[in-house]
Amino acid sequence: MEVDILTIFPGMFPGVMSESILGRAQSKGILTVRVHDIRDFALGKHRIVDDYPFGGGPGMVMKPEPIAAAIEHALLCRESDAGGESRVLLTTPAGRPFTQGLAREYAACEHLVILCGHYEGIDERVGTLVTDEVSVGDYVLTGGEIPAMVIVDATARLLPGALGDEASAAEDSFWEGLLDYPHYTRPRQWRSLEVPDVLISGDHERIRRWRREQSLERTRRRRPDLLEHAELTEEDLKTLRNLAP
């Protein structure tokens, strides 16, 4: 997968993109990340990327010329000839909520271009070059750089070969619409707290049932809204009915 990130703060990305799973995925050739400074595409010696909004009002609006030039440049940077369209994402509070399902959708793409929004937003006319508007939550951040990092991280870890254990992604929270079950490691006792006996029983079927029940219980208590769209089996429904109110 190739990812081109368009930003006015390129210095925010090197550390995040070079560490952990993202760094390993790039070293393996599974992921390519290129970061472009939108100011490089601005007109004039001062490389201005924003201006006052028509009609008045507070704040500034990102100008269309440098953004359009940056997007068109990023589309030309694509090296893969595997086919499929390039998706141009705009990070914005007004966008489609970013979910694990959307991360899976993006992981199937060959090329993503992520435009980091700023100020009061971008000139509406640039929207003709954008295929996806994406929000990482119902709150306002200083800019779209952190959402871009979230999108790349959540998407890249789903690429084949990105994780040391491919089963890890399939057991993550939200994979089947539920929160993850609790995890334990050594020591068996810590500050008088014990690891549940079932996890050291060696009975794989009991462990599977316990983990599924814990996942269902945690979701029911913390995020009951997720149960409306989760992929539930008859066994899951029976478990939920038997859980204490």
Q: In the chain, what is the greatest distance between 2 CA atoms, to the nearest angstrom?
A: 70
CA 155 centroid distance within chain: 6
- Point out the residues that are catalytic: 93, 120, 157, 172
Q: What is the dihedral of CA 147, 108, 170, 23, to 10 degrees?
A: -60
Q: In sequence order, which residues have a C-beta less than 8 Å from that of residue 115 and are 6 or more positions away?
A: 6, 67, 70, 71, 88, 89, 90, 91, 122, 130, 144
C-alpha span between 125 and 57 (Å, rounded): 19
**62 torsion bin: left (phi>0), alpha (psi -120 to 50), beta (else):** beta
Own/partner long-range contacts of 40-45 (Cβ < 8 Å, ≥24 apart): 40/70, 41/65, 41/66, 41/67, 41/69, 41/70, 41/73, 42/66
C-alpha span between 6 and 114 (Å, rounded): 6
Q: In sequence order, which residues have a C-beta less than 8 Å from that of residue 133 and are 6 or more positions away?
A: 89, 90, 92, 94, 95, 96
Q: Identify the H or E element spanning 132.
A: strand 132-135
